[in-house]
Amino acid sequence: MNAADTAWIIVATALVLFMTLPGLALFYGGLVRARNVLSVFMQCYAIACLMSVLWLAFGYSIAFGGGTSGLWGGLDKIFLSGVTADSLSGTLPEVLFFAFQMTFAIITPALIVGAYVERVGFGFVLVFSGLWMLLCYAPVVHWIWGGGMLADGGIFGEIGVRDFAGGIVVHETAGLAALIIAVFLGPRKNRTTPPHNPGYVFIGAAMLWVGWFGFNGGSQLAADGGAAMALTVTHISAATASLTWALWEKIKYGKASMVGLVTGTIAGLASITPASGFVGPVEALVIGAVAGILCQEAVNVVRNLLKIDDTLDVFAVHGVGGIFGTIMIAVFGAGSWLAQLGGLAVVGIFTAVVTVVLVKVTAAITPLRVDLETETNGLDITVHGERAYDMTS
């Protein structure tokens, strides 16, 4: 065990959890109507709790167990069987590696929340998220990070897929799942209501930016120069994408919005995530500059051309950003074109098939969408019996 590595990954684990709670919850919560903000908080918080238990029970073993098939890790480490405080994963206590990866298993299904807010059944959120994490996310983790079929020596040869912190594993899977669920759900009855609290959006985005240092910097799994470079390029990409998003808004609409500025931040962070361990500051500048415009245009395509109500633009920002960053690894010569494009295709097809099946299965167990009256009155009071704001007190 290396004490410096261990100390840094303890901090990084806390930072990644901070991304979901409270960062993502506030970011998403500020974007919805006031009558639905507590439902967004509830969904993010409940997903964090449920994924933690399921990751302990089965997820970690599926992703990082000792299975040799290349498809999944097996069940030899369910409930951390055989893992003690003295067990090591590289230079880290294995239980810490488990905890760090658990925070990724929390935020990935939580990202999908943005596609179905304001109209989804709470039971569907829990059942679908749990099944999706175990049957879609965890196997993909094994394929790329657990030594499975897409890693070095796998189906793409000696040089496997390069995905430093989750461009494919986190952002492509969550983005595609979000788009598919949005199609199944259909649009909200009222799609024109503006964000009820842009202040929440700003605070949540700022928390995500800070937490992302643990997301990308922690993925080095060491306290060294590689972690420092990953942290630095993450920041540069986020800053640049924020500026290009705002500039593109100004050129197109005559005004640069605060919500747009911070959405550009998230686009830059998602885009640099897969490449953060393989590029330098100048490459990060390029990735961020393109991401701010590319993801904004993807929002327009999904909303206006495809007419899909992906409520908070999960696919356009996270999905497109993660895919773009994964391709840029090959553009800058840090990975194989075959492996990068092949990995995106394999994971994309797998995610789409599993998500469609799970939506249908889950909808047969619990309603997918709330009724019109519940949607009109808001999920907060109707589903959870609470209001975020009491204007009479």
Please say whether the dihedral angle defined by the alpha carbons of residues 365, 375, 384 and 43, taken in this order, is positive or negative: positive
Q: Tell me the pLDDT tens digit for each residue of 44-77.
A: 999 999 999 999 999 999 999 988 789 999 999 9
Residue 391 reports pLDDT greater than 80: no
**Calpha distance 271→278 (Å, rounded):** 13
pLDDT at res. 68: 78
Mean pLDDT of 288-294: 98
Task: Check if the beta carbon of residue 290 is closer than 8 Å to that of residue 324.
Answer: yes
Using alpha carbons, select from 64, 125, 134, 145 the residue that is nearest to residue 98: 64
Please name the amino acid found at residue 60.
Y
Residue 143 tokens read as 């394929």
339 touches 158 (CB < 8 A):
no
Is the pLDDT at 9 greater than 80? The verdict is yes
Measuring CA to CA, which residue among 204, 201, 194, 292 is closest to residue 240? 292
Rounded Cα–Cα distance for residues 186 and 225 (Å): 47
Cis check: omega of the bond before 93, within 30 degrees of 0: no
Quickly state the pLDDT bin for 328 (edges 50, 70, 90): very high
- Angstrom CA distances, 48 to 19, 57, 138, stand at 11, 14, 15
